[in-house]
Amino acid sequence: MGVVAIVAFVLGAGVVAGVFLLRDSSREPVDDAAGPSASPAQSQLPPSAPRPAGRPGPDNTGVPPDVELRPSDVVEVTEPGTVLDGLDLGCLRVKADDVTVKRSRIRCDADDLPAVRADDGVDRLLLEDTEIDGMGVTSIGVGFARFTLRRVNVHSTVDGVRAGDSSVIEDSWIHSLSRKPGTHNDGIQSIRGTGIVIRRNTIDVFTDGDFMNAAYIISAGSERTVTDVRVEDNYLNGGNYTVYLGDSDAKSVTGVVFRHNVFGGDFRYGPRVAIPEGTVWEDNKLASGAEVPGKTGKG
């Protein structure tokens, strides 16, 4: 016989609603010490109004204004197909495929963990219309592979997103990174992977006069590879160099397409550096409309 657990949501005025989570005894045992987990039984809210058009920012990313968040103590998701909708969450670990987190806020102050972590092998994680707040502490907003971010507001983390295999970041706002001693803060970083898509985002890492490290950086080094990367139609600002695309003697970065992006003017040394040979570089402009200057080879 299955074991039934209850996750409680405080709805206001002292009213508590419970969502029953049925645990199938035929499955492997679950470590209850890991904290509450979620199942596909989570109730969903009515649809929200369409988000405004325009460059991603405070009005069209994060939790829609018509959503009243419900507190939740869910910390990990173990059932495929789970939908978390309209919740106020802490640090979240995803251990199952086809999980959706939407119209929710995730606030995480774990120094050594991502605010949202997809475990190795997890596929098709979707975060949509959600805010990720690293509270000035968390090292990474979202990591590490096979996820989609759509209209997500990521802020107050050291690095915004760690993007590996089959990662899609679109229509999102990554900003207001948190400097800590010795950190090299990046909006998005790829250290390995293939099939990475970054499109129609605002990635602005210039924060309170601090350039940070880069809006997007590929740092594969000599022992890893990054291939098949598309960076299109973004607004990119800040950084020592705004983009660093990982050119090296190891030739470990290939298949990069970088087109139709706009660069802001807040960088320490230049808008681009270390562009690998063979990169498709098309119609990228400064915000003024001028051509993008800077180094194309190794820094």
| Amino acid at position 124, single letter | R
Give CA–CA dist 124/227, Å, rounded: 20
Residues of the chain with pLDDT under 50: 1-33, 41, 299
In this prediction, residue 112 carries a pLDDT of 86
Task: Share the mean pLDDT of the chain.
Answer: 88
R_g of the chain, CA atoms, integer Å:
20
> Domain locations in the chain?
33-286
Give the pair of three-digit tokens for residue 64.
């829609």
Q: How far from chain centre, in Å, is Cα 225?
A: 21
pLDDT tens track for 145-204 = 999 999 999 999 999 999 999 999 999 999 999 999 999 999 999 999 999 999 999 999
The closest of 228, 174, 172 to 200, measured between CA atoms, is: 172
The closest of 174, 133, 135 to 151, measured between CA atoms, is: 174
| 3-state SS assignment for residue 62 | coil
In this prediction, residue 40 carries a pLDDT of 57
Give the pair of three-digit tokens for residue 231.
């960076």
In this prediction, residue 45 carries a pLDDT of 86
Q: What is the DSSP string of 256-296?
A: EEEES-EE-S--SSEEEE-PPTT-EEES-EETTS-B--S--
Give the pair of three-digit tokens for residue 273.
């550096």
Q: Indicate the helix (H) or strand (E) that contains 133.
A: strand 131-133
The closest of 173, 166, 133 to 150, measured between CA atoms, is: 173
| Amino acid at position 79, single letter | E
Query: Which residue blocks in the chain are alpha helix, DSSP H?
Result: none
